[in-house]
Amino acid sequence: MKKLLVVVALIPLVAQMSMAGLLNAITHRPDARGLGLSGAVTAAGEGASALSSNPAGMFWVGDWEFEIGSTFLLTDFEYQPDALLGGGNWDAIDGLFPFPEFFLAHRMSDDLVVGMGAWIPYGLAADYAGYLPYFQSEVMVGDFAVGAAYNITDELVIGAAVKALYGNVDFNLPLIMGGNYLGSPHTSADGLGVGASLGLLYVDYPWRLGASYDIPVPIDISGHTKFPAMVGLGQQGFDSQIHNPARLGIGVAYNINCRWLVAADYFWTDYSDMDSLAVRYNSLPRTSVPLGWGDIHSVNLGTEYVPDLPNNWLTLRAGVGWLSSGAPDHTLVPSVPDTPGWDVSLGAGFQLTKNLELDVAGMFAWGERDISLAPGRAAAGHHRADIFGAGVTLKYKW
């Protein structure tokens, strides 16, 4: 009984670090330009911030380039339980979350650019306070990377980056056994991993073709779960290892003319190998938690237009994207609304001075998912996720 209860409590831990489905909406667009293009930056990305999407794009740096900014997300999650689970309408407390980013790049020679950066590619929180059973989650992943872009030929640029990944989660998820709600244990955990990404750009104006690949990263996590008094387990420490999945991006960009760019990207995120999770407890037997996730796919389209104005001081951007979901029905919980969905975005860039640029963008992502009632599905019903995003970036070149 105790082993089963702990397994039930820990399954959502991994689901919350999966970054699947609609919650992937900003993982490859940490700056305002990328947000405005709906993430279609594998081939179109350029400058210091390309370190986060395709490091080969850093090659388009003059001498020095410094970038700082943040994306802000406002989340609106809703869960309507199946009628046999009580029905009703659960509306999570809306949350506003900042995603800061910092990048610096320098041209070392005609063929080599090096750079560094720190950004938060993913994070959110959902809190269903006032409802029983009680769901609450806070999730954050941060990246720090150093990398380089090298020009092999006039047309071909390669890039690479080494990065450290930090993940932190904190949540309350309900224990329901035999139809009885036993309370919502509180779990917190964090961990660190080291990974790398590779990038490639082939440029034959007006075409640009790009590819990027993030290697899978094992992350050792440790934490504890505090159980309700009625369960009789107290606080249990644990450690485990999860894998930040491999990710492949393929993109194409085309300059219709000197003022108008269109771009398209496809992303594949490999969650299919994560069939189970081994968990080691301080005072309980080792346990394997089944996961059964699937791959995540997304398609992103973006366009950029520079009106014929003095000094080309204005750039306009727009984009649209579609994302699939990956978590199976039996691991989905209201605090992790892994839904397939769409996003649309608009953005603008302003050349404030010869060296200083300001980018701004807005995004709206939405998705829904229905889960039928069946054994093992704790969150049967209708799930809805709306995400509003706004980004601002300052870029200085010298």
Q: Which of 195-199, 217-221, 370-374, 383-387 comes out lowest in average pLDDT?
A: 217-221
SS3 153: coil
Whether 116 shows a pLDDT value over 60: the answer reads yes
Q: Is residue 4's pLDDT more than 60? A: no
> In this structure, are residues 387 and 24 in contact, taking their beta carbons and an 8 Å threshold?
no
234 exposure class (CB count in 10 Å sphere: 0-12, 13-18, 19+): exposed
**Tokens standing for residue 292:** 């059964």
Q: What span, in angstroms and rounded, lies between the C-alpha atoms of 59 and 69?
A: 21
C-alpha 169/C-alpha 271 separation (Å) is: 19
State residue 23's pLDDT score.
54
Residue 397 has, within 13 A of its CA and on its CB side, a CA count of: 16
Look at residue 232 in the predicted model and tell me its pLDDT.
75
In whole angstroms, give the CA distance from residue 67 to residue 101: 8
**How does residue 276 score in pLDDT terms, banded at 50, 70 and 90?**
low
- Residues near 16 by beta carbon (within 8 Å), at least 6 away in sequence: 137, 139, 169, 171, 335, 336
Strand 156-172, strand 176-177: pairing: unpaired
Percent of the chain residues topping a pLDDT of 70: 88
What's the whole-number mean pLDDT along residues 318-327?
Answer: 89
Q: What SS3 class is residue 230?
A: helix
**In this predicted structure, what is the pLDDT of residue 93?**
81
Q: Are 125 and 139 in contact (CB under 8 A)?
A: yes
Residue 174 and residue 378 in contact, taking contact as beta carbons nearer than 8 Å: yes
Q: What is the DSSP string of 254-308?
A: EESSSSEEEEEEEEEEE-TT--EEEEEESSS--EEEE-----EEEEEEEEEE--S
Lowest mean pLDDT among 263-267, 343-347, 374-378: 374-378
Please name every residue paired with 140 in a beta bridge, in sequence order, or none if there are none: 123, 168
* Predicted local distance difference test score (pLDDT) of residue 18: 45
Confidence at residue 17, expressed as pLDDT on a 0 to 100 scale: 46
Does the pLDDT at position 7 exceed 70? Answer: no
Supply the pLDDT for residue 154.
92
Amino acid at 233: L
Q: Which two tokens stand for residue 159?
A: 């890039």
Mean per-residue pLDDT, 292-304? 89
Q: In the chain, how long is the greatest CA-to-CA distance?
A: 73
The encoded tokens of residue 251 equal 């993109």
CA distances from 104 to 30, 63, 109, 195, 353 (A): 14, 11, 16, 20, 19
Average pLDDT over residues 166-188: 79
- Reading the block at residue 87, the tokens are 């029905």
User: What is the predicted pLDDT for the residue at 138?
Assistant: 79
Which tops the pLDDT comparison, 20 or 377? 377
